Each structure stands twice: as C-alpha cells, then as structure tokens.
Chain A
Amino acid sequence: MDIVVMARALFGASLGFHIIYATIGVGVPVMIIIAEVLYWIKKDSDYALMARRWTKGFAIVLAVSIASGTIVGVLISLLFPSFMEIVGQVIALPFQMEIFAFLIEAVFMSIYLYAADRLSPSLRLVSIISVAIGATASAVLITDVHAWMNTPAGFRITPSGDVTDINPWAAFFNPSFGVTAIHVTLSAYMTVSFIIASIAALRLMKSKITQAERNYHKKALTIALYFGAITSLATAVNGHETAQMLHEYNPRKLAAAEGLFETTRYAPLSIGGYTSLEDQRVKYAVEIPYALSFLAGDRFDTEVKGLNEYPEELWPPLYVHVLFNIMVGIGSLLIVVAFLALFWKHILKREFPGWMLALLVTSGPLAMIAIETGWCFSCIGRQPWTITDVLRTENAATQSPSVGILFVLFLSLYIILLFVTGFVLKNYFKRNPVSKDLSADTLG
C-alpha cells in the first residue's frame, strides 16, 4: 500500500484508540468531583464510595490514556513531519501549554490516588479539581490545534512555500477554536455520564442484589442522568453553532456533511441515506424542507454552498455524510433517553421498567460510537487537506518505508490493550464488588 495511506491508517488507528481513553479521562474526574461534593453536602457515605470506585476505574483507564497520548503526540511528529514544520512555527503554543496541563493532571492524579488518605478533605477536593482542570485543559488545547487545521489562521504562505507574517495568538484563537473546544469538552462529559448510566443500569437489571446495592446504583444512575441530560442538550446547542461556523468558514465540509451538490437557498436537511455521486443528491434520506438553510444561517432563505462550487479533487469523501448522521443521530437519541428517564423518575415517580434499563445500558457504548464517528467526520471531512487549503495530506506525510511494519505492530498493541484493559477492569471490580465495599463501610 501507498506510504501516505499507511501513515494515515497508523495515525488514525492511534487516534481512534486514544480517543476512547482520553474521553473517559476527561469526563470521569468531573463525575468524581460531583460525587465528592454530594458527599460533602449530604454526608452520605455512598457518594464517598462512588468517588473511590470511580477513581480506581479512572486510574486503570488513565494509564492507557497516558500511554496512548504519548504515542499520538510523538507519532504525529514522526508521521507528518512537513505538517509539524508549520505547526512548530505557527501553532506551537497550545502544544506546549497542553504539556503543562497534562503535567498538572499527572501530578495531582498521583496525589489523589496514592495519598488520598493522608490529605485533608479540602486538599483532596483541590487535588481532584486540579485533575479535572488539567484533563479538560489538555483536551481543549489539543482541540485547538485540530481546530486550527480546519480553519487555519495567524500566518501566510509565500509562493515558495515559506511561512511568514506569523501571529501565534491569531493562530491560537482561530475561528473554530471556541465552538470546537466546547463541543469536544461537552461531548466527553456527556459520554462519560452515559457510560456510568450504562454500568449502573446493568447492575440494576440483575435480580440478585441487596437493597443497599440497589440504592447505591440508583444514586449513581441519578447523577449520570442529570449530568447526561444537561451535557447532551448543551452539546446539541453547541452542535448548531458548529454548523454555523462551518457555514461561514468551511462551507465545503458542511456541503459534504449534508450531501449538498448545488448551491441552494431554502436548502433542505437530509437525514439518513447515502450521498450518490451519479444522482448528485442524498438517496433514501428523509428531507426536512428549509431546515439546512435555517441551521446554517438562522433564516430559511440562507444560501448554502454546494460541492459543485469546488473542483471535485478537493471534495472530501462523500461517505462523511453517513459519519455525520451517526454522530447527530446518536446525540439526539441520547437527549431523548436522558429526559425520558428523568421524566419517568420524577414526574411519574415510578421504577424504571426493564426495557428502559436496557435502553440505558446501550447509551454508553452509543455515546462512544458518536464520539468516534464525530472525530472521523471532522478529520476525513477535511481531506484532501491536513491544513485546510494550505497543506495537502500527501505532502504532509512521511516517506519512510518503515510505516508498514509499525502499523502492524501498533495495531496489535491496541487490540491487546483493549482486551487487557477490559479484563483488568472486569477482574478488579469482580474481586471488589460494591457489596463488599458497602459492608466494609458499615463495619468501620
């Protein structure tokens, strides 16, 4: 296979693997803070136990996240050297800041993990808040580089290919930074909420659990549902802003996402289906009249640019429409699930029926799929560019023939680590079930 394709496959696989762990690593500290604060307010030891157990799971996930984050950080320089040449001159600041955010997270995580029993309650809270700040800041800063790749700013390229007129802060605050960073952060929080909801729902579906365990899992589920409802709704609102940002700064990507070929006013929104090149439209889709124009510009007569405005060689692959739909579809579904569950609980004041628990069990994995397809959409939707309209991917990638062997090795590593993490998590929580921790708490 072509070296460029191999390099992309290797980096894509690494990123796809890292995103799973990184997303969990960004969200869980926030959930731990919520549990710690609830413990502080309600003095209910279940919340302290929750914080402790989530921390254990977090420590296992974080190890892989740090390892894969290191891999991604180093591989990007090795695989896309020409890209990093421009990055180093223009958008180095968020990269550097990210390390410090990462360092804050690592230092306080060790403190929270290995010294929790020697810290005063307030210092313990400061530690976990620092972990959360470090984790979220890391995500925001790395997303900044990604946003800059989509909407580059803060430099000019001379005809001979040199970078001039460098303004590091203009690059830092590039047009899509704000919306994209918020999108990544909120969707990570949301995903972790639903993962926790999944686990709690799975436990509640078991028939043989004690009342104390049931209460514990219900509390966890309630936290997850509230946080999930808020963050999923906020993600959707922000998603709308993202669409408007695309409309303004990256209309080609929006056109590909929506499978729109001709520039149109009163453009309809196509949901589902696939983009057909021959027919120049999305086939088998549900069309909502005017909706795309309204989403893009808040007015039904907004003119939305179509793919035919651009030479075909600059189009992203047309299947990004499907990726985009999976992301939006799951996101919307999860808003419904969270609010329905809260409605059931607070308005109907009834126990969750089995089908609702089953639905909740699927919510975590679904959210993770949405995260993966979202990242794939954003990166593939930028093709053929690595830096939009500046650097093509084929010119950014390495020429080194060793990529092939490394691809095989790294892929094996990721598969092994996925299994081993699953095994270790399962094994650990099997040996230390909630029932054991609960009885230990009542004893002393």
Chain B
Amino acid sequence: MEASTLAVTILWSLLFVYAMLGSLDFGAGFWGMIYGKNDHTSASQIANRFLSPTWEVTNVFFVILVVSVVTFFPFATTMLGSLLLLPIGLGLILLAIRTTFMVFEHHAKRFRELLRMTSGITGLIIPALLVSILPITLGGFIEFEDGLPRLYYRELLVHPTLYMHIAFGLSTELFISAVFLMDYAKEAEDHSAYHTFRKHAIWLGPVSIAIAVLTIGTFPAEATWIVDNIQRNWFWFGLSLFFFLIGYGFLFLKRSDGERGMARLAVLAIVLQYGIAIYAYGSAHLPYLVYPHLKIEDGFTDPGMFYQMLVVYGIGFGILIPAFILFWRLFLKDRRYLKQE
C-alpha cells in the first residue's frame, strides 16, 4: 500500500472510532435531557452514568482526529483551515460549553436542569456541525478566488444535501447510542431503562438506514464521481446492510430469561455495520480529500516523517491498552459502578 493510502486509512479508522464514541457521548447527552424529568424510567441516570467517566476520553479522540489530519496531510491545512474556520470554530465553542457544563453539573446542583438541557441540545448541534463537513468535500461548494479557497455558504445552506447529511448524522447518532445504552442498561440490570432504549432502537434503526440511502440521492450534481464509486463498492455497502439486519434482528430475539433483545450481539453487529460502511465510503472518496481541488497525495507529509509518526502511534496505543482495559472493567463492567444509586 502507498504511504498516503495507509495514512488516509488510519484517518478513516480514527474517524470511525470517533464516530462511534461521539455518537455514544452526544447521544447519551440527548437521552439524558429527554428523560431527565421522567420518573418512570431511569434512562437518564443510565445515560449520565455512562457519560461521566467517558467524555474526556471521547474528547481526546476528537483531538487525535484533528491532529492526525494536520500532521498526516499538512498541505491540506491551508485549504481546510480557511474553509472550516467558521463551522469548526462554532463547534469548538459549543464543545467547550458542553464539556465544562457537564462537569459543573456535579458540583452545582441548583442549575442541574439548565446544565442538562445544554448537554442535550449541544449533543445535537455539535454532531450536526461536524457532519456538515462531509458534503463540503463532495464538490460544488468551493471556488478559488485570488488563490484562496472560498466556501459558498449560501449554496450550501439552501442545498437539500446539507440537511439530509445532518438528518443522517443525527439518526445514526441516536440509533447507535440507543443500542449501546440498551446494552449498558442490561449490564446494570436496569429494566426500565433497558426497555426505553430498546423501544427507541427499534424505530431509529430503519429510519437511519432509509435516511442514509436517501442522502446519496441528494448529493450535489458535481458529486457524480463519488456516486459512481459508491455503486462500484456495492458489495461492501451490501455487507454493511447485512450486518444491520443481523443486529436489528438481535433486538427481537428472545433470551433464555424470556425477555426480548440480545443487546451485546446487537451492539457488535451494528459496530461492524458502521465500520464496513465507513471504510466503503472512505474508499469511494479516494483519491480526493476535497473534490476536485485536493487529492490525498497532494496533501501528504514527508514519508519519512510519516513512518516515525506510525511508530509513535504504535507505542502510544501499546501503552494505553492496559489503561483502556482497566477503564472498561471499572466503568462498563463493574456492577458496583453500574448499579449504584
């Protein structure tokens, strides 16, 4: 594999990890808000219990993603930096408000309601902002003026594909988080929360798939290149759909205790579904970072530098694996944490 292809593969892998973690994080914030005042289900507590120890780690993956883009593809920063300054800048402000308020929630009980609202609403707006980067890269919204790239906000804001991308992002976020929190609730043996999240997973699943397919239909006219590539990758998108059906099926299977839903297996199948879909989409996006102005090899760093960075990645994640295992045991497995009042 060429070094630049390897780099972009790592980038899509990090995007996949962040998409999963981010969906859980932002989704949990949203569900925490929706069920914050509801006494019939403890869905809100479950969501917040998951959120407390994990948001910092999720946030770090956002930084990893950004730093990887910049360090792997430094020649892309000039273009991406000027195009994305406003949307990412706004996203950062909201992210800062969200993360700080989430922590403050534990320390300032009087304002709990307000803080929870903030976490829920930003849990929708931030992913919407992030996902709106995707249509920008497809072509048709950027022109060069005096050698500087300009983003045509008006064209973007009136184009249906922006809103379909956002709808796709949000339905995916809520679907993934509902399935995962259903599993988390089961681990905590919390039946009311389990049923709440299962109910949502059941309607969100088909909705998210339908929106995903419809979104491709709204791609701008300049994006025929990627539509062709997507059609060429039909096998992988089909496989992704196959795993969705399996995962969705697990929501209905009866367990030995008579309840419906095999949560853990559903989570695994759906993670696979999105993993395959993201790589298939990523390979359809080749060779462009931003169509038609920026190909991946034009943005790529010095290959010697890149291999040094790979060593750093290897060592870094190597050191962190034991830490992640400990983390998993303490917050996702330990009954004393999961079942606390």
Contact = CB atoms under 8 A, between A and B. Distances in A.
Nearest to A119: B330
A89 B301 contact: yes
Given A89-B305, A110-B331, A406-B85, A70 B67 contact: no
A296 to B, nearest CB: 35
B63 A70 contact: yes
Contacts of B82: 81, 398-400
Given A84-B81, A89-B302, A99 B64 contact: yes
Given A102-B63, A114-B331, A413-B97, A60 B104 contact: yes
B305 A166 contact: yes
Interface in B63-96: 63-64, 66-68, 70-75, 77-82, 84-86, 88-90, 92-93, 95-96
Consensus secondary structure, chain B interface: helix
A107 B319 contact: no
Contacts of A87: 70-71, 74
A29 B124 CA distance: 34
B71 A88 contact: yes
Contacts of A130: 323
Interface size on A, as a range, is 35 or more
B60 interface: yes
Interface in B292-321: 301-302, 304-305, 308-309, 312-313, 316-317, 319-320
A439 B312 CA distance: 49
Q: Which of B92, B99, B320 has the most chain A CB atoms inside 10 A of its CB? A: B92
A178 B32 CA distance: 47
A93 B99 CA distance: 27
B222 to A, nearest CB: 23
Interface string B318-341: 011001101100110010110000
B327 A71 contact: no
Interface stretch (A61-69, A216-224, A344-352): A61-69
Given A74-B88, A77-B66, A166-B302, A104 B78 contact: no
Interface string A47-69: 00000000010011011101111
Given A84-B81, A89-B301, A110 B327 contact: yes
A115 interface: yes
B229 interface: no
Given A399-B148, A409-B93, A427-B107, A108 B81 contact: no
B233 interface: no
B283 interface: no
A78 B103 contact: no
A428 interface: yes
Contacts of B324: 107
A74 B92 contact: yes
Contacts of A402: 85-86, 89
Interface in A173-207: none
B313 A96 contact: yes
Contacts of B84: 78
Interface in A263-287: none
A410 interface: yes
A369 interface: no
A280 B94 CA distance: 49
Given A100-B316, A400-B82, A109 B67 contact: no
Interface in B24-65: 52-54, 56-57, 59-60, 62-64
B102 interface: yes
A100 B327 CA distance: 15
A420 B79 CA distance: 36
A424 interface: yes
B108 interface: yes
Contacts of B89: 75, 78, 402, 406, 409-410
Contact of B70 (A70, A88, A405, A427): A88
B56 A66 contact: yes
A397 B326 CA distance: 43
A105 B19 CA distance: 22
Given A77-B66, A85-B77, A398-B81, A70 B92 contact: yes
Contacts of B59: 66-67, 70, 106
B74 A114 contact: no
B88 to A, nearest CB: 6
Nearest to B323: A107
B147 to A, nearest CB: 9
B308 A66 contact: no
Interface in A109-158: 109-111, 113-115, 118, 130
B312 to A, nearest CB: 5
Given A74-B66, A130-B323, A420-B104, A89 B93 contact: no
A100 B319 contact: yes
B308 A63 contact: no
B301 A88 contact: yes
Contacts of B326: 111
Contacts of A169: 308
Nearest to B66: A74
B104 A84 contact: no
A86 interface: yes
Contacts of B99: 63, 66-67, 70
A428 B319 CA distance: 35
Leading 9 A-B pairs by shortest Cβ distance: A88-B74, A100-B316, A63-B103, A81-B81, A92-B71, A106-B56, A67-B96, A110-B53, A81-B78
Interface of B: 52-54, 56-57, 59-60, 62-64, 66-68, 70-75, 77-82, 84-86, 88-90, 92-93, 95-97, 99-100, 102-104, 107-108, 148, 301-302, 304-305, 308-309, 312-313, 316-317, 319-320, 323-324, 326-327, 330-331, 334, 336-337
11 contacts: A63-B100, A67-B95, A74-B92, A88-B74, A100-B312, A107-B320, A107-B323, A114-B52, A114-B337, A400-B85, A417-B96
Given A63-B99, A110-B56, A427-B108, 15 more contacts: A64-B96, A67-B95, A67-B96, A70-B92, A77-B81, A79-B81, A84-B74, A88-B77, A95-B71, A111-B327, A168-B308, A398-B81, A398-B82, A409-B89, A410-B93
